[in-house]
Amino acid sequence: MSGGAPTHESDLSEKFRRLIEVGLALTSESDVSALLSRILFEARRFTCAEAGTLYLVTPDGKLRFSVVQNDGLRRSEVLVGNASQPITIEISPTSIAGWVTGTGSTLNIPDVHDLPGNCGYQFDSSFDLKSGYCSRSMLVVPMKSPAGHIVGVIQLINARRPGTEECTTFPKEQEELVLCLASQAAVALNNARLTSELQLAYSEAIHRLARAAEFRDHDTGEHIERVSRYSAAIAEALGLAPSDVSRILLASTLHDIGKLAIPDSILQKPGKLTAGEYAEMKCHAKMGADLLAGSENPTILLAAEIAFSHHEKWDGTGYPRGLRGDEIPVAAQICAVADVFDALCSSRCYKTALSSEEACEFLRKESGRHFSPQVVEAFFAVIDKITRIRSELPA
Ligand SMILES: [Fe+2]
Ligand SMILES: [Fe+2]
């Protein structure tokens, strides 16, 4: 997105057509950071601006440098900070971006080094000094939400004369166009944020549901988190699509959700289970599947598949259905390896933990018997990642 200089489009009607296209494209981008880069890029493309900055208004009322693009510099990303150390400035009428945020008006400045003495705002040259860049002309527009709130500011720097490297001023007619683009961008940003919030809430609800089952099974600690992350790592090694990997990451947390229906007397029994108790314990697979059945959501459906089949064995000796080989859904084949590896490495009220080497040896021995050989191979392909997850989430 940031590669290459924006091309000039001189015809105004062509620009309006393009504006509509960009507006539609922006609404389909749900990744907030990709969206912000795209907004700034498109605004620069419309105006042939060599550089630009997109600021967002933070919840604590500051302006955050969110995207910096500069075709005249190689290290513009250095100036934008990162998620843990964002660069912010106060919303003050004495700064150009602060003035635009405060007033909601556009500024079209021919030369930032030649501002009228009585305008109230000043050009902050510190970023130019740090980077060695020279800002001249600027077009600065507010990003206004449909409710009229300013959610950010687009600052376009150094318009280039079409077909040349020469810097010029931003034509008056571009003000309306960029303002229009900024409003579309504000709507798209709001939508992307809502989508992201919904996804987070959804993911959190699933984790909390999984924890409800784990809660009663006191010994298992971070078992669910580890199994989920091991499963995703294996799925990635198997070459599954990123969307499937994300789905497995979430769905595998629910593999033992059926344990909610198992009595404490069995779940927390310190000694060996009787044959009857073991038979009852085995019901958690079917119960989990029943609990999750009937959803129209693909992640919940996958979770139902995993819950139902994570105790099946490659050679057909598992439960509850005695599926064999590829009859077992891939996600359940994956979760089986992750689940058993983690259970072996964890101490429980009825057993001590094996070392990681011993657990690995077990997986190798059971490849083609308990486990899919391909999944075991994928597990060992990412053993470093598995070890890292184990150290981050100790048993
Ligand atoms: Fe289970
Ligand atoms: Fe488990």
- Parse the chain into domains and list their residue ranges: 12-193, 217-392
pLDDT score of 211:
85
For residue 258, the ligand closest to its alpha carbon is 1
pLDDT at 216 over 80: no
Q: Which residues are catalytic?
A: 259
Residues in contact with 72: Cβ distance below 8 Å, sequence separation at least 6, in sequence order: 50, 51, 133, 158
pLDDT at 11 over 70: no
pLDDT score of 17:
81
pLDDT score of 249:
97
Over residues 268-296, the pLDDT tens digits come to 888 889 999 999 999 999 999 999 999 99
pLDDT at 15 over 60: yes
Ligand 2 centroid to residue 339 C-alpha, Å? 5
Ligand 2 centroid to residue 384 C-alpha, Å? 21
pLDDT score of 83:
57
pLDDT at 379 over 90: yes
pLDDT category, 131, cuts 50, 70, 90?
confident
Among candidates 293, 311, 312, 313, which has minimal Cα distance to 303? Answer: 293
pLDDT category, 1, cuts 50, 70, 90?
very low
For residue 340, the ligand closest to its alpha carbon is 2
Output the CA–CA distances (angstroms, integers) from residue 394 to 186, 211, 252, 343, in the order listed. 43, 17, 19, 12
Mean pLDDT of 333-349: 92
Ligand 2 centroid to residue 349 C-alpha, Å? 15
**Does residue 125 contact residue 174 with C-beta atoms inside 8 Å?**
no
pLDDT at 101 over 50: yes
For residue 220, the ligand closest to its alpha carbon is 2
pLDDT category, 16, cuts 50, 70, 90?
confident
CATH fold of 12-193: Beta-Lactamase (3.30.450)
Ligand 2 centroid to residue 247 C-alpha, Å? 18
* 203: its two tokens: 């993911």
Report if pTM > 0.85: no
Over residues 21-43, the pLDDT tens digits come to 888 888 888 888 889 999 999 99
Highest-pLDDT range among 117-121, 146-150, 238-242: 238-242
CATH architecture of 217-392: Orthogonal Bundle (1.10)
C-alpha angle 43/48/50, rounded to 5°?
90
| Averaged pLDDT of the chain | 89
pLDDT score of 84:
62
Identify the H or E element spanning 156.
strand 150-160
pLDDT score of 27:
81
Mean pLDDT of 300-318: 98
Residues in contact with 326: Cβ distance below 8 Å, sequence separation at least 6, in sequence order: none
pLDDT at 5 over 50: no
Mean pLDDT of 80-98: 81
pLDDT score of 218:
60
Query: What is the rounded distance in angstroms from the CA atom of residue 234 to the CA atom of residue 144?
Result: 44
Topology agreement, domain 12-193 and domain 217-392: no
pLDDT category, 394, cuts 50, 70, 90?
confident
* 160: its two tokens: 């280039």
pLDDT at 169 over 60: yes
Ligand 1 centroid to residue 335 C-alpha, Å? 10
Ligand 2 centroid to residue 198 C-alpha, Å? 27
Residue type (1 letter), 181:
L
For residue 312, the ligand closest to its alpha carbon is 1
C-alpha angle 224/216/391, rounded to 5°?
30
pLDDT score of 81:
54
pLDDT score of 78:
47
List the shell of residues around ion ligand 2, using CB closer than 5 Å: 256, 339
Q: DSSP letter at 326?
A: G
**Percent of residues, the chain, with pLDDT higher than 90:** 65
Residue 336, Cβ density class (10 Å: 0-12 exposed, 13-18 middle, ≥19 buried): buried
C-alpha angle 241/209/207, rounded to 5°?
45
